[in-house]
Amino acid sequence: MSADLSDLIKAGLRDVPDFPRPGVVFKDITGLLADSASLRAVVEGIAGHYAPGGVDTVLGLEARGFILGAPVALELGAGFVPVRKAGKLPRETYQATYDLEYGSATVEIHTDAVRPGSRVLIVDDVLATGGTGQAAVRLVRQAGGTVVGFSVLIELGFLEGRRRLTDVELHALAVL
């Protein structure tokens, strides 16, 4: 992780207390995304960590993982698959339920979204408790893919989500 990129990310964040629930401090990345140079640096920081040709598919986690995952997929010459909240996809799906810092949720992908044997990079904005990441890893494996990495813009180190993802390579551009 580049110190300059980490500093750029930290400077572009805004904390929003008590969102979406009391006691949660939401990390607002919209200011960072609104600046084209910052957005480019973040996309290149994620994509540059992986070998050209080493990723077939990028999974972006709803919703801010979509924003980061799609341009990372383009940089890597890979396809993009959205991981959606339950009930948002129109065809047959694989589902995984997980706990997060303020409740539980279910995510899903289409059953044909990841080809068996595909090398998959999972991308999200924030690693908090690791529940969403664990669920995404389960979805990839259920579809027959291989997770080559889990990359995030920000890791909230104090929540120790990394402990739940010990069997995949975790790459964070900034750790708070």
Q: Is 69:59 a contact under the CB 8 Å cutoff? A: yes
pLDDT at 101 over 70: no
**What is the CATH code of the structural domain delimited by 51-175?**
3.40.50.2020
pLDDT at 118 over 80: yes
Report DSSP state, residue 35.
S
Q: In this predicted structure, what is the pLDDT of residue 100? A: 64
pTM (2 decimals)?
0.94
Q: In this predicted structure, what is the pLDDT of residue 99? A: 79
Nearest to 143 by CA among 122, 171, 170, 165: 122
Q: pLDDT band for position 3 (50/70/90)?
A: confident
- When pLDDT is averaged across residues 123-141 and rounded to a whole number, the result is 95
Give catalytic residue positions.
64, 101
**Residue 33 class from Cβ within 10 Å (0-12 exposed, 13-18 middle, 19+ buried)?**
middle
| Rounded distance between C-alpha atoms, residue 67 and residue 103, angstroms | 24
Output 34 or 129, whichever has higher pLDDT: 34
Each residue's pLDDT tens digit, 15-49:
999 998 898 899 999 999 999 999 999 999 999 99
